[in-house]
Structure 1
Amino acid sequence: QMDNSQGNFGNWQQMVGDQTGDDVFSGQDIGAQNSQGILSCIHCQCLISNEEPDIMNHSKSCPEVPRPDLSYRYCCYACFYHSLYNSDMKRHIRKHTGQKPYKCPCCNYRATTNAGLKSHVNARHAMLAI
């Protein structure tokens, strides 16, 4: 069942990479992000902003995901990953959104996790190891 609170835009959206300007059915590019920063849930087709709090709220409340046990507390909007823990889901979602919030203080490198940043600093900037 589709959440029609977004009107006609709920069924159709123009995707990044569609240079023709034609509308593309959101199901053709699962989990895709359009130019307005809108994500489409593969489970319920609901449109979600690409802001982390909105993604996390939806991952916890998507009505179309069966939740047979506690490990399904958070369910990914773009694949079938699920987790009991908020922090694991945030880290996982960055794989889909490309968000890299951890910036190296010495160069332009960015990482999806603090551990990834520490590994980079230790390998590339050993004198400044965190």
Structure 2
Amino acid sequence: MKLNRLLICCDYVPNTSSILFAVSISENLVCHYCSCQLVSHTEFLLSHGKSCSRISRPDKSFLYVCVFCEYHSNNSGHMRGHIRKHIGDKPYNCRYCLYKSSRLDNLTTHVKLKHSVEYDLI
């Protein structure tokens, strides 16, 4: 079963195992460092980039490392936004039109400019 191979390969057991079972391997995503097959899920990729034993971490700015390129950060929020660009994840939706964004600040700017409305998170 592919999912079991993924668990062994990545040596990753999330706090909530339902995260792993809720996603499917829909693309051939592979870690740039360990060649482990990955799932297209932002939190999983964030965690793998933080825990992959094959990644060299010369200083604290390498706490979170992108599994697809050389980008690294010590800020999980910055890494989430970066990962979303790679996998095309756009979780922020405009309530006034079909616009979607990978970042909340981009959605806020969109709503102000295109709809002349202050964006309300509620």
Q: TM-score range by the shorter chain?
A: 0.7 to 0.9
TM-score, normalization by structure 2: 0.74
Correspondence for 1:91: 81
1:77 aligns with 2:70: no
Q: Give the aligned length.
A: 100
Deviations 1:39-68 (A, max 9, x none): 211111111111222111101011111101
User: What one-letter code is carried by the residue in structure 1 that aligns with 2:32?
Assistant: I
The aligned residue for residue 129 of structure 1 is: 118
Where structure 2 has 5 or more consecutive residues not aligned to the other structure, the ranges are: 10-24
How far apart are 1:38 and its partner, in Å?
4.8
Which residue of 74, 91, 109 corresponds with 1:101? 91
Deviations 1:66-123 (A, max 9, x none): 1011100010010000010111110110110111111001000001111100111111
Q: Work out the CA distance in 1 between the residues paired with 2:98 and 2:5.
A: 38
TM-score by length of 1: 0.70
Describe the superposition over 1:8-31 as per-residue Cα deviations: whole angstroms up to 9, x where unpaired.
xx8xxxxxxxxxxxxxxxxxxxxx
Unaligned runs of 5+ in 1: 11-34
- Please state which structure has a larger fraction of its residues in strand: 1
RMSD of aligned alpha carbons:
2.1
Q: Which one has a larger percent helix, Structure 1 or Structure 2?
A: 2
Q: Could you tell me which amino acid in structure 1 is paired with residue 110 of structure 2?
A: H
1:62 paired with 2:52, answer yes
Q: Distance in 2 between matches of 1:36 and 1:104?
A: 26
- The answer (yes or no) to whether the contact 1:39–1:49 under 8 Å persists in 2 is yes
Identity among equivalent positions (%) equals 35
Please say which structure displays the higher CA radius of gyration: 1
